[in-house]
Amino acid sequence: LAKTTQPISMDSYEGQEVNITCSHNNIATNDYITWYQQFPSQGPRFIIQGYKTKVTNEVASLFIPADRKSSTLSLPRVSLSDTAVYYCLVGESVAGNQFYFGTGTSLTVIP
């Protein structure tokens, strides 16, 4: 099971691009990288998932280098509503305890 390392917290001003990097040195060949967002008093919400290179959706981009030992979640032009905890997960499938959330990165967006 590949565990992950993320910064505990980050601050950013409104309108800036935020990049949160996650280290996963022991990622396995079949592992995917998934990011979740969690607001207070809510369950986590899926943001984006990737295997290699770059993935982009309407919410974020995910950059994965060739060695896949890290990944970077990029949030363009953050707003106050992006203040949340962001979790990076690495795993092969949804089966069992392959989903290890860790403590995540608490992002605070400042006006």
Q: Which is nearer to other proteins, 13 or 101 (CB)?
A: 101
- Residue 103 makes contact with other proteins by CB under 8 A: yes
Q: Which of residues 44-83 bind other proteins (CB under 8 A)?
A: 44-46, 49, 51
Q: Per-residue string for binding with other proteins, 4-23, x by CB under 8 A?
A: --------------------
- Residue 87 makes contact with other proteins by CB under 8 A: yes
CA distances from 7 to 4, 57, 107 (A): 10, 23, 10
Residue type, 41: S
Count of residues interacting with other proteins (CB under 8 A): 26
